[in-house]
Structure 1
Amino acid sequence: MSAEHATARVSAPRVRPRSAPATSAPAPRPRLRVVRPPAQARTHVPFVVTCMAILAGALLSALLLNTQLAAGAYETRTMDVRLAELARSEQQLSAEIDANKSPAQLAARATELGMQPAGATGWLRLADGTVSGGVEPAP
């Protein structure tokens, strides 16, 4: 035996790995399942409305500003015309005053009012109450 055993090979039983125990196949998924509703798409309407409101406000402001400037221009024109009329009137009145200041005009106007030209100059002496100079009493 020893020789036989020496020449003979001892073979060990082969160990096969154990396969996993057979489990039942997973249950098939149902065809219907819960689905999330689609995400709300963000609408651009508020942004567009805000932009249009800003644009409308800007246009309205420009229109009101332009209207006010036009009204101011008309008022300025009216005031310029009035100023020119007053300047012309002032010039006429100044010319009339200068004409009335002339000595000939003053004498004619005084005569119309019943004034007489002054005669010689006289002096009154207060110490003794005498009048000297060629003074005649007014008629």
Structure 2
Amino acid sequence: MSAERTRPLAPARREHEGPAEQRRRRTPLTAITGGAAYRRGRFDAVRAPLHSTSGVPFLVLCATILLGALLAVLVLNTTLARGSYEMSQLQRDVGRTAQDVQGLQEGVRQAEAQLDDKARRLGMVPAENPTMISVLTGQVVTGATP
């Protein structure tokens, strides 16, 4: 290759351009005399195009993560509220059932206390020597033997 060049490779600095614009500017490529003219074909040097990255995929990812988190919080909050409502309803039912049980137990206690009086009014007397039949053997058992 020849050391000769038709134009300088460094770009001319312009006063109104900032550092980012100066980096984006490319140096012009020019053919060098000699070298390529002696070969069969002519080869030109070509630079790769500048690639600018887009921020759209990143923004879509962030928005998707944010939306997913908001939906997860909404579902969690709804589930907890439903569970809280069911728990309070069950606690009310347990309270009512406990009151019913206490009422029934009080009724049984009162009936036990009045049993002797009702039996005497009907003409019943306490048995002095009860007689029982054994279910296992079929024999009649008298007295208070266990």
Question: Normalising to structure 2: TM-score of the pair?
Answer: 0.53
Shift of 1:77: 0.9
Residue 91 of structure 2: aligned partner: 80
Residue 11 of structure 2: aligned partner: none
Residue 142 of structure 2: aligned partner: none
Residue 76 of structure 2: aligned partner: 65
In 1: Cα distance, 2:47 partner to 2:88 partner: 72
Residue 110 of structure 1: aligned partner: 119
In 1: Cα distance, 2:91 partner to 2:5 partner: 100
Confirm whether residue 41 of structure 1 aligns to residue 52 of structure 2.
Answer: yes
Distance 1:50 1:108, change over 3 A: same
In 2: Cα distance, 1:122 partner to 1:27 partner: 139
Match of 1:53 among 64, 67, 71: 64
Distance 1:122 1:38, change over 3 A: closer
Shift of 1:40: 1.6
Shift of 1:101: 1.1
| Letter of the 1:83 counterpart | V
| RMSD between superposed Cα atoms in Å | 3.2
Residue 12 of structure 1: aligned partner: none
* Unmatched 5+ stretches in structure 1: 1-25, 124-139
Matched residue SS, 1:42: coil
Residue 14 of structure 2: aligned partner: none
In 1: Cα distance, 2:129 partner to 2:64 partner: 93
Aligned residues: 94
Q: Higher relative contact order by CA 8 Å / sep ≥ 6: 1 or 2?
A: 2
Distance 1:48 1:101, change over 3 A: same
In 1: Cα distance, 2:52 partner to 2:86 partner: 56
* Unmatched 5+ stretches in structure 2: 8-27, 31-44, 131-146
Residue 111 of structure 2: aligned partner: 100
